[in-house]
Structure 1
Amino acid sequence: MVQGQAKTASSAGGKRQFLKVEGEQITFHGKPIILKGTGIGGWMNMENFITGYAGHEHQVRAALQEVLGTKKYDFFFDKFLEYFFGEEDAKFFASLGLNCIRIPVNYHHFEDDMNPRVFKIEGLKHLDRVIDLCAKYGIYTIIDLHSAPGGQNFDWHSDNPTHKALFYEHKDFQDRTVVIWEHLARHYKDNTWVAGYNPLNEPSDEKQSRLIEFYDRVEKAIRLIDKDHILFLDTFAADLSHFGKPLPNSVYTCHDYSIYGFPNPPSLFNWSKDQIDFHKESFRDKTEYMRKHKGPVWVGEFGPVYQNAEDGVDDWEHINDTRFDVLKLQLGIYAKAQASWSIWLYKDVGFQGMIYAGEDTAYVKLLKDFLRKKKNLAADRWGFDDRSVRHLFQPLEEWIESSAPSIRDRYPATWGVDGHLSRLVRNILLSEELVKEFAGFFKDKTLDELDQLAKSFEFAQCTQRTTLNEILKADSLRSDKERLSEK
């Protein structure tokens, strides 16, 4: 079974060879292949906790364009996209034995809201470059529409500034998304190093049926153009209970984050039987649909976040060790299930990435105080530690719950009152007000200075999270015997 770097050629005897779904496996030339890799990070779909800004991508881009002017703005973001992933990144990734990178993209690269359905070919410039670089080093890519028109979920990572997923309420948003996928399918239909398409990331349709209808529709549209590439189909909270028969040549996916990999867990992970059973049962629940229909499993996202010395946590290194142990347990579970996986994420400013912009880089030095302020305010949604603001929010949560008890069942109910309140007040209202402060750090920067800021994300200037990468490399080398003996 191929588990590490893909050694196979993409064609044989002049005939193009694509990965495809056969029974419970993703296969190449009829032989099973397990895709192991990462999400590239906040690159063609930026996220606040990944690159340090506040609010939502389109908001910070607008603020930066106002501060920098169009010429400097275009220069900075073109250099950022260039430096964020280059040949040295691909070479390093392949050296770990990993063979697949999931690439989140934002629809704004391909069309403008004020000029919809007009596909911007220049939006493919860096996507083509990275896909070709990955292919050079035997790495497959999965194109993931992380941000769709209207917002397929209600979070920052779909660049949605509201608390409503309007994608499901306005057909025009769905129509535009289909057009985008038709263009992407037309462009990549012959590229055998593209493992497949992830039409929507974490779509959160409260009624369930509208998402299923959209998947049926977009699958038909893509297949009229591209009959070969695998579709990787997401849901929100890994809920596939409403889905019927799987679509052809499709992999249904789950995201499998562990509460033991984040701040304020029930307890530190210590390999207790209860903790191990909790993770095994969680994975079984999330993959019930795949097992029922005897299809492949791809864990599209998972992985802990990490503490650092500046967090003010005395035992931060021990905490990180426990989170690495959570990762080891999950990888063992996936190996036993012969599941493909994509850890979140490859590169950031030091919160979760396999590598990250170093402390001495121009970008991190410029934003150091702002990053600390944002963390203390728990302004970002992802992996936040709200202990510094808990005393402010707890009375409000109790007041809201006593005034409107039905909020306990507000979708998604798993968030609880605190999740809904913090989202609206901190992650939307407060974060939007911090956008101008962030943009102000870039005021009056020269082109050379902007180049140095963007270059902070170049591989040569990044720091490796060594223990994480050693764990991933060890898993890429896991033998079939080791995999089957996992407990």
Structure 2
Amino acid sequence: MKANRNSPVFSWLLLLLLSHLCLRINVQSTEMPSVQFKAVNLGGWLVTEGWITPSLFDRIYNSDLLDGTQVQFMSTAWGKYLCAEKGGASTIAANSSKASDWETFKLWRVSDDQFQFRVFNKQFIGLDGGGGPGSPIVAVATMPGESETFQIIRNPGNPNRVHIKALSNEMFLQAKSEDIVTADFGGEPGWEDSSKAVFVMNFFGNSLQGEYQVTNGYGTGRAAQVMQDHWNTFIVEDDFAFIAKSGLNAVRIPVGWWTATNPTPAPFVAGSLDVLDRAFSWAENYGLKVILDLHAPPYSQNRGDHSGTRDGTIEFGSTQETIDKTVEVIELFSARYASSESLAAVGLINEPSAPAVSLDVLARYYEAGYAAVRRHSPTAYVIMSNRLHSTTPTELLPLANGRSRTVIDVHYYNLLSSGFNNWTVQQNIDYIYQTRASELNTLTSASGPLSFVGEWVAELNVTNAGPEDYKRFARAQLEVYGRASFGWAYWTLKNVNPHWSLRWMIENGYITI
């Protein structure tokens, strides 16, 4: 019998079918968690950040000369800076009156006092043609070797006054003229200004203090014990008990790619995977969920300490290999923890930086990373982080829509850009209720991916702000970020800076969950 399209029965059947389809689309898109996550980040634990735990670097010799440190060298004889002509792929001169990009070199640390110098265009300073007498210093090597390795010898009375000795010929770098720099000064150069082998070493920008810096700074042998001691004491089982009794129900754990890799690649040291296993066990013991977040992929996605970078160069997405290697890491973590009752979500990558990481690159990675998680878990949420510095907070919505259990992660700080300078406490609070709330609302819909404020903190860039100011600021964020459909995570549980430490904030009455 053919249905009459004008009959009430047909209309009812059509409505039922459409309702069923809408329900299926809604379930597939949102699949809300049974409980909104109120989490804390365990930052500075398995991925080192020196500003969180500065004492971790205390026993490193030449701790101001770690990997990625940017230095400039001024010849005392000429009063000019060493310069990589054309930014690289050419000679080194001593002819710059002012120091800028071409005069700035990134250190690759080889030992306590031996280094390689990376120039603006990513080549390394070395001895031309094997370094015979009078051979110029050039920046042409794309990967450094012995000819590109130098010893920095510091003046005991003035450590920024240095000699630079070439490892390959045991002779000192000298600026023979403003246009010619060689490594053929024999004997003792002395420390007089007139010596052509004396340079003043200036530091540029902020130094990196991440996992690469701490492990390579100590050297693999010493680093193994230092890191094991840190892992065993910085976060302990009692912290998980505290988290649970404080009203939180989850932890977000930043991890690095080396944790999932066996054998662990130097200079990173083995052991963090066992610690991560322990964290999952503690989470199960105290009824907590784990949000596993890849903070440091094999190739840096931003210039931060937490990206595992050696020198601040962003390489994630530069080739397909960088994407494939990162997917492999997600696959390893997903396979290992998919059966854990505590696993709630996998964050595919933390804070990729725009425009260095393009939206097209990120979309290709997120699609492959999502598939890697799904090969092992149909239930774990997959978190896609918004790009740092992107002006379009909704740019990931088309990618995440239609995929099961997807979450978009945003990070909200009121102090990491100059835009918040000179604001009052009330202006900061108003910004939370107005701008942050509005942006979060655009990301939170009934049929799209879930929203997650994966990092926030009750710290203010306000002079003389008092305890009540911090309490009001924290309450405003708890109220607004509580509207995120997936939840939020405070940065971080422990920190030498008290307002960044949720444990300190709770114990001292600033925050109540």
The TM tier, using the shorter chain, reads 0.5 to 0.7
Whichever residue aligns with residue 109 of structure 1, its letter is T
| Cα displacement (A) at 1:335 | 2.9
Could you say which residue in structure 2 is the equivalent of 1:94? Answer: 244
Tell me the TM-score normalised to structure 1 length. Answer: 0.60
Partners in 1 of 2:263 and 2:218 — Cα distance? 19
1:21 touches 1:230 (CA, 8 Å); kept in 2? no
5 Å-filtered alignment, 1:264-283, equals 265-270=421-426, 275-276=429-430, 279-283=433-437
- Determine helix, strand or coil for the equivalent of 1:345: coil
Matched, 1:33 2:35: yes
Partners in 2 of 1:467 and 1:260 — Cα distance? 23
| Cα displacement (A) at 1:129 | 0.2
The alignment covers a number of residue pairs equal to 328
1:304 equivalent among 458, 474, 490: 458
Cα distance change of structure 1 residues 145 and 64 upon mapping to structure 2, 3 Å threshold:
same
Could you say which residue in structure 2 is the equivalent of 1:448? Answer: none
2:384 touches 2:407 (CA, 8 Å); kept in 1? yes
Whichever residue aligns with residue 26 of structure 1, its letter is M
- Determine helix, strand or coil for the equivalent of 1:46: coil
Partners in 1 of 2:249 and 2:319 — Cα distance? 38
Could you say which residue in structure 2 is the equivalent of 1:79? Answer: 229
Partners in 2 of 1:219 and 1:336 — Cα distance? 25
Could you say which residue in structure 1 is the equivalent of 2:379? Answer: 228
- Determine helix, strand or coil for the equivalent of 1:324: helix
| Cα displacement (A) at 1:39 | 0.5
Partners in 2 of 1:294 and 1:301 — Cα distance? 21
Cα distance change of structure 1 residues 102 and 172 upon mapping to structure 2, 3 Å threshold:
same
Tell me the TM-score normalised to structure 2 length. Answer: 0.57
Identity %: 21
- Determine helix, strand or coil for the equivalent of 2:316: helix
Partners in 2 of 1:59 and 1:139 — Cα distance? 32
Could you say which residue in structure 2 is the equivalent of 1:288? Answer: 442
Whichever residue aligns with residue 218 of structure 1, its letter is G
Partners in 2 of 1:280 and 1:197 — Cα distance? 30
Whichever residue aligns with residue 494 of structure 2, its letter is K
- Determine helix, strand or coil for the equivalent of 2:383: strand
Whichever residue aligns with residue 479 of structure 2, its letter is G
Whichever residue aligns with residue 299 of structure 2, its letter is G
2:476 equivalent among 316, 324, 329: 329
1:268 touches 1:319 (CA, 8 Å); kept in 2? no
Q: Which runs of 5+ in 1 are unaligned?
A: 1-19, 308-312, 356-463, 476-487
| Cα displacement (A) at 1:178 | 1.1
Offset from partner CA, 1:325-345 (integer Å, 9 cap, x none): 222111111234555110100
5 Å-filtered alignment, 1:277-426, equals 279-291=433-445, 293-305=447-459, 316=464, 318-319=465-466, 321-336=468-483, 340-354=487-501
1:107 equivalent among 243, 257, 266: 257
1:142 touches 1:195 (CA, 8 Å); kept in 2? yes
- Determine helix, strand or coil for the equivalent of 2:422: coil
1:254 touches 1:299 (CA, 8 Å); kept in 2? yes
Return the index of the structure with the highest Cα Rg. 2
- Greater share of strand residues, 1 or 2? 2
Q: Which runs of 5+ in 2 are unaligned?
A: 1-25, 58-206
- Determine helix, strand or coil for the equivalent of 2:421: coil
User: Over the residues paired in the alignment, what is the CA RMSD in angstroms?
Assistant: 3.3
Bigger mean CA offset, 238-247 vs 77-86: 238-247
Partners in 1 of 2:433 and 2:262 — Cα distance? 42
2:41 touches 2:490 (CA, 8 Å); kept in 1? yes
Partners in 1 of 2:368 and 2:329 — Cα distance? 13
Matched, 1:176 2:182: no
Could you say which residue in structure 2 is the equivalent of 1:130? Answer: 279
Could you say which residue in structure 2 is the equivalent of 1:61? Answer: 215
Partners in 2 of 1:322 and 1:203 — Cα distance? 32
Cα distance change of structure 1 residues 263 and 469 upon mapping to structure 2, 3 Å threshold:
farther
5 Å-filtered alignment, 1:127-276, equals 127-206=276-355, 207-237=358-388, 239-241=393-395, 243-246=397-400, 247-259=403-415, 265-270=421-426, 275-276=429-430
Cα distance change of structure 1 residues 242 and 223 upon mapping to structure 2, 3 Å threshold:
closer
1:186 touches 1:225 (CA, 8 Å); kept in 2? yes
1:324 touches 1:468 (CA, 8 Å); kept in 2? no
- Determine helix, strand or coil for the equivalent of 2:298: coil
Cα distance change of structure 1 residues 79 and 289 upon mapping to structure 2, 3 Å threshold:
same
Partners in 1 of 2:249 and 2:476 — Cα distance? 21
2:429 touches 2:473 (CA, 8 Å); kept in 1? no
Offset from partner CA, 1:250-308 (integer Å, 9 cap, x none): 111211112499997332213x6x9525543223224523338443221100113379x
Matched, 1:44 2:194: no
Partners in 2 of 1:87 and 1:186 — Cα distance? 24
2:414 touches 2:460 (CA, 8 Å); kept in 1? no
- Determine helix, strand or coil for the equivalent of 2:329: helix
Partners in 2 of 1:278 and 1:187 — Cα distance? 38
Whichever residue aligns with residue 421 of structure 2, its letter is P
Whichever residue aligns with residue 472 of structure 2, its letter is D
1:111 touches 1:120 (CA, 8 Å); kept in 2? no
Partners in 2 of 1:104 and 1:283 — Cα distance? 26
| Cα displacement (A) at 1:349 | 1.9
Cα distance change of structure 1 residues 261 and 95 upon mapping to structure 2, 3 Å threshold:
farther
Whichever residue aligns with residue 344 of structure 1, its letter is W
- Determine helix, strand or coil for the equivalent of 1:226: coil
Partners in 2 of 1:334 and 1:112 — Cα distance? 38
Offset from partner CA, 1:385-432 (integer Å, 9 cap, x none): xxxxxxxxxxxxxxxxxxxxxxxxxxxxxxxxxxxxxxxxxxxxxxxx
Matched, 1:465 2:501: no
| Cα displacement (A) at 1:173 | 1.9
